[in-house]
């Protein structure tokens, strides 16, 4: 295995003017780099079975290098029970043959490291698959010594006669229905916050925690640089497992458990890598408050390096994710700003608009018809110039849009399939169900990456496991590589800007407008340097609000207007501008592209 490291060299290139950097925060790589999320199943299929794989990822390392990202996060590639595309792990220390072999994994890691790119892998330890040997043992008998590795409870007494159907509490699963499944052999229920084939692990059990630590360390010993910890805020269940009344209440209750912080602190001190020292830890935290995220990622505690939060991707959510409410104008900016202020100053945010769990950002927050490129660029500008670590989800850099579902046969995701079955059984119209899945279903993110306009889109020569979006003929990475004004080139510019300008990584954050129905604007400051971003996040032109900031050097405008320093009076639909005030002695020229 190569011992070449991605530290120094490529990773820090362009980090100009160390003296300008605010020394009160650390020099960790992730403060000035961008992470790229790969969902291996949908990235590139190297062996023609219609499913993306690890060799496919390796074949596109040049794409990561060209974009300039500092790390790649790989969604699961482990053997799985097959219900949640790998988020139901059946063996924590192996590669699913569908994705390749352990050798191919090592080769990929080595290849990425040689290009100066770090490797972050997904780790799913809130639950395992029910096919994992830990669960097989746990389920085998109430006296098995791994029984307690999962969460078993007898039926609730005095409730519907204490028979099956009398779940131990009222918790509902993320994927619909009760979070408990009855096991007839032992007469007990087991807990699963997700699918019934994803039983929750019992973190109060010391042996379980030690087994988890060992499995994580096993990957770190293979030179992995960081771990993305799936739903990590849900691992600590409150004593007595009290009723929750609602889904948000349940998430808040689980996240607020102080035991979470002791588990994380213990992990932090016990994990290490021979090569890079402490691994980068990214915690996914759906439903966690800003207080919890801030605590876990604060420099003092350092339990996690950054938190993935959810408020901004739930703005269109009603009681459940399928009851959609109209997207409230202006709320996107305000919500992002809130997390900048509440978490970003003392802790650290992962910044994202899309992931494998969310509909495509340009379709949801932007305008994928009249202003597709422009809105994709403006959304990226706003996100990337925040304080935190931007995460680009595969295909986002080429403005990939939602899939035009025309039949339920095209749906692959268990969450959407469960919803469709329930909704249809409850009398919902098929068109409505398709509409809702088309707007918020997770499959939108999982259609194959659109590399080029050919029949298979550059993803595979075989029929893909999920349909390719027909718009790949016009919207693809190859076309955009050849167009300096494309969304793709804009992402590359944003990545470079973060590396070159310490203010992007280290500057403070202050919103310049609050609750404006269309315009979002903010200022970053570092010493005498200042960066201002103003964006119209809507389809309609608007008079520019008075930002109360002095004239600066305009370094970017979308769409291109003559570069000038005078104040703006009108913002066109989805227009955004970026200014930097340079201070004497700034070594670098202001480059626009």
Catalytic residue numbers? 230, 284
State the Cα torsion 230-233-235-240 to the nearest 10°: -150
- Residue 319, both tokens: 């009681």
CA distances (Å), origin 2, targets 9, 223, 259, 320, 423: 16, 9, 38, 48, 52
From the list ligand TEU, Ca ion, none, pick the one residue 357 interacts with, judged by a Cβ distance below 5 to 8 Å according to partner type.
Answer: ligand TEU
Report the Cα–Cα distance between both ends of the chain, in Å, rounded.
Answer: 38
For residue 45, the minimal CB distance to Ca ion (Å) is: 4
Dihedral sign for Cα atoms in the order 387, 273, 17, 70: negative
User: Which residue from 376, 361, 366 is spatially nearest to 539, judged by alpha carbons?
Assistant: 366
- The one among 39, 189, 194, 491 contacting ligand TEU by CB under 6 A: 194
For residue 172, the minimal CB distance to ligand TEU (Å) is: 12
- The one among 53, 130, 223, 357 contacting ligand TEU by CB under 6 A: 357
From the list Ca ion, ligand TEU, none, pick the one residue 45 interacts with, judged by a Cβ distance below 5 to 8 Å according to partner type.
Answer: Ca ion
Interface with ligand TEU in residues 445-484 (CB under 6 A)? none
Say whether residue 316 binds ligand TEU (CB under 6 A): no
- The one among 231, 392, 399, 477 contacting ligand TEU by CB under 6 A: 231
User: Candidates 48-56, 358-366, 382-390, 518-526 — which segment interacts with Ca ion by CB under 5 A?
Assistant: 48-56
For residue 122, the minimal CB distance to ligand TEU (Å) is: 8
φ and ψ of 555, to 5 deg? -110, -15
DSSP string, 334-386: HHHHHHHHHTTTTS-BEE-S--TTS--HHHHTS-SSTTHHHHHHHHHHHHHTS
* CB atoms inside a 10 Å sphere around CB 240: 7
Q: Which CB, 287 or 458, lies closer to ligand TEU?
A: 287
SS3 for 214?
helix
- The one among 45, 53, 84, 368 contacting ligand TEU by CB under 6 A: 84
Interface with ligand TEU in residues 273-292 (CB under 6 A)? 284, 286
User: Candidates 39-47, 62-70, 179-187, 365-373 — which segment interacts with Ca ion by CB under 5 A?
Assistant: 39-47
* CB atoms inside a 10 Å sphere around CB 154: 12
Rounded CA gap, 299 and 283, in Å?
A: 15
For residue 293, the minimal CB distance to ligand TEU (Å) is: 14
- The one among 47, 91, 101, 172 contacting Ca ion by CB under 5 A: 47
Rounded CA gap, 357 and 536, in Å?
A: 26
Q: Which CB, 188 or 284, lies closer to ligand TEU?
A: 284
For residue 487, the minimal CB distance to ligand TEU (Å) is: 25
Interface with ligand TEU in residues 415-444 (CB under 6 A)? 415, 442
Strand 576-581 to 553-558 pairing: antiparallel
From the list ligand TEU, Ca ion, none, pick the one residue 415 interacts with, judged by a Cβ distance below 5 to 8 Å according to partner type.
Answer: ligand TEU
C-alpha of 219 from chain center = 21
Count of residues engaged in binding ligand TEU, rule: CB under 6 A: 14
User: Which residue from 225, 310, 210, 341 is spatially nearest to 276, judged by alpha carbons?
Assistant: 225
Interface with ligand TEU in residues 391-420 (CB under 6 A)? 415
Say whether residue 51 binds Ca ion (CB under 5 A): yes
For residue 245, the minimal CB distance to ligand TEU (Å) is: 18
Rounded CA gap, 33 and 388, in Å?
A: 9
Say whether residue 96 binds Ca ion (CB under 5 A): no
Query: Under the rule (CB under 5 A), what is the footprint of Ca ion?
Result: 45, 47, 49, 51, 53
Query: Under the rule (CB under 6 A), what is the footprint of ligand TEU?
Result: 84, 87, 124, 174, 194, 230-231, 284, 286, 321, 356-357, 415, 442
């Amino acid at each position: 295995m190569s011992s070449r490291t991605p530290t120094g060299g490529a990773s820090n290139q362009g980090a100009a003017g160390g003296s300008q950097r605010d020394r009160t925060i650390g020099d960790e790589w992730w403060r000035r780099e961008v992470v790229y999320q790969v969902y291996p199943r949908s990235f590139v299929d190297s062996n023609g079975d219609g499913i993306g794989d690890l060799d496919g990822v390796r074949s596109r390392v040049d794409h990561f290098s060209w974009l300039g990202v500092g790390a790649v996060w790989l969604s699961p590639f482990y053997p799985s029970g097959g219900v949640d595309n790998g988020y139901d792990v059946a063996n924590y220390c192996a590669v699913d043959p569908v994705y390749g072999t352990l050798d191919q994994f090592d080769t990929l890691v080595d290849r990425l490291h040689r290009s100066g790119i770090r490797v972050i892998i997904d780790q799913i330890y809130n639950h395992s698959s029910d096919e994992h040997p830990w669960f097989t043992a746990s389920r085998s008998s109430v006296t098995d010594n791994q029984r307690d590795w999962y969460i078993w409870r007898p039926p609730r007494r005095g409730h519907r006669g204490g028979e099956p159907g009398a779940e131990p509490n009222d918790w509902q699963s993320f994927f619909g229905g009760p979070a408990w499944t009855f096991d007839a052999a032992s007469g007990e229920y087991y807990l699963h916050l997700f699918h019934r084939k994803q039983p929750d692990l019992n973190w109060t059990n010391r042996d379980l925690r030690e087994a988890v630590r060992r499995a994580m360390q096993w990957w770190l010993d293979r030179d992995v640089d960081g771990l993305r910890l799936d739903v990590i805020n849900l691992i600590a269940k409150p004593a007595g497992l009290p009723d929750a009344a609602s889904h948000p209440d349940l998430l808040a209750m689980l996240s607020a458990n102080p035991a979470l912080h002791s588990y994380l602190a213990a992990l932090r001190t016990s994990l290490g890598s021979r090569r890079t020292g402490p691994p980068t830890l990214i915690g996914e935290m759906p439903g966690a408050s800003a207080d919890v995220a801030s605590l876990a990622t604060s420099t003092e505690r350092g339990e996690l390096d950054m938190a993935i939060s959810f408020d901004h991707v739930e703005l269109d959510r009603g009681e459940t994710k399928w009851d959609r409410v109209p997207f409230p104008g202006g709320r996107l900016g305000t919500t992002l700003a809130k997390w900048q202020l509440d978490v970003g100053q003392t802790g650290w945010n992962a910044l994202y608009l899309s992931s494998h769990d969310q509909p495509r950002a340009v379709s949801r927050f932007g305008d994928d018809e009249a202003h597709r490129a422009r809105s994709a660029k403006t959304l990226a500008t706003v996100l990337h110039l925040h304080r935190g670590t931007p995460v680009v989800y595969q295909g986002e850099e080429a403005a990939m849009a939602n899939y035009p579902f025309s039949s339920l046969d095209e749906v692959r995701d268990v969450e959407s399939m469960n919803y469709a079955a329930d909704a249809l059984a409850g009398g919902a119209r098929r068109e409505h169900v398709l509409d809702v899945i088309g707007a918020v279903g997770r499959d939108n993110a999982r259609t194959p990456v659109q590399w080029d306009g050919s029949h298979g889109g550059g993803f595979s020569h075989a029929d893909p496991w999920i349909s390719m979006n027909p718009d790949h003929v016009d919207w693809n990475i190859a076309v955009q590589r050849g167009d300096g004004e494309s969304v793709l080139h804009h992402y590359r510019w944003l990545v470079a800007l973060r590396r070159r300008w310490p203010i992007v990584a280290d500057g403070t954050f202050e919103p310049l407008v609050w609750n404006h129905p269309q315009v979002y604007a903010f200022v970053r400051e570092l010493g005498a340097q200042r960066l201002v971003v103003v964006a119209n996040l809507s389809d309609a032109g608007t008079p520019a609000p008075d930002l109360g900031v002095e004239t600066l050097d305009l370094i970017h405008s979308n769409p291109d207007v003559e570069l000038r320093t005078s104040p703006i009076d009108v913002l066109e639909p989805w227009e955004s501008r970026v200014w930097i005030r340079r201070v004497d002695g700034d070594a670098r020229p202001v480059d626009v592209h």
